[in-house]
Amino acid sequence: MLSLQEISDRIELNDLIVRYSYAIDNRDFDALDDIFTEDAIIDYTAMGGARGTVPETKAYLTAALARFTGFQHLVATTIVKIEGDTATARTICHNPMMMMHKGAEHIFFCGLWYNDEFRRTDKGWRISHRNEDKSFFYNLPTDFAPIAVE
């Protein structure tokens, strides 16, 4: 049976995962400051993206997502392991993305997992490391190229 603290921790960890999706989908990249630790590393390289700190990731997302007219990060089936003031999680993400391509709206789908490490801070739980594992791309334009990482 879970203790009240474990239940509370799990709710807060799940909330971080959901808040991340909303921040990205609303292009509210400054919200990431309250989701990640100051020393966090975010690694999108498995899906063709960048790896970096929170400020570097915010700059990358601003540039990389500018060409998309819409997207939704749908997260589900998170498995969490809590060990004191640290935790890990693996979460499925299904991400349809829409963009103009060759004069027409084009939608493709990304399937991935988020692998997260969390740390309890004086401001509550925060993600201290996130990396993605690729599952699939569906209907990705054959000439699609990720934004160059500087």
Which CATH number characterizes residue 87's domain? 3.10.450.50
Query: Do the domain assignments include residue 149?
Result: no
**Which structural domain, as residue segments, surrounds residue 91?**
4-138
pTM higher than the cut 0.85: yes
Taking the C-alpha atoms of residue 115 and residue 73, their distance in angstroms, rounded to an integer, is 15
Is residue 106 pLDDT above 70, yes or no?
Answer: yes
Is residue 147 pLDDT above 90, yes or no?
Answer: no
Nearest partner of 17 among 106, 90, 70, judged by Cα: 90
Query: Do the domain assignments include residue 76?
Result: yes
Q: Using DSSP, state whether 25 is helix, strand or coil.
A: helix
Tell me what pLDDT residue 64 has. 95
Count the domains in the chain: 1
Output the six-digit token pair for 45.
């390289």
Query: Per-residue confidence at 149, pLDDT binned at 50, 70, 90?
Result: low
Is residue 146 pLDDT above 90, yes or no?
Answer: no
Query: Do the domain assignments include residue 150?
Result: no
Query: Do the domain assignments include residue 31?
Result: yes
Query: Do the domain assignments include residue 103?
Result: yes
Query: Do the domain assignments include residue 148?
Result: no
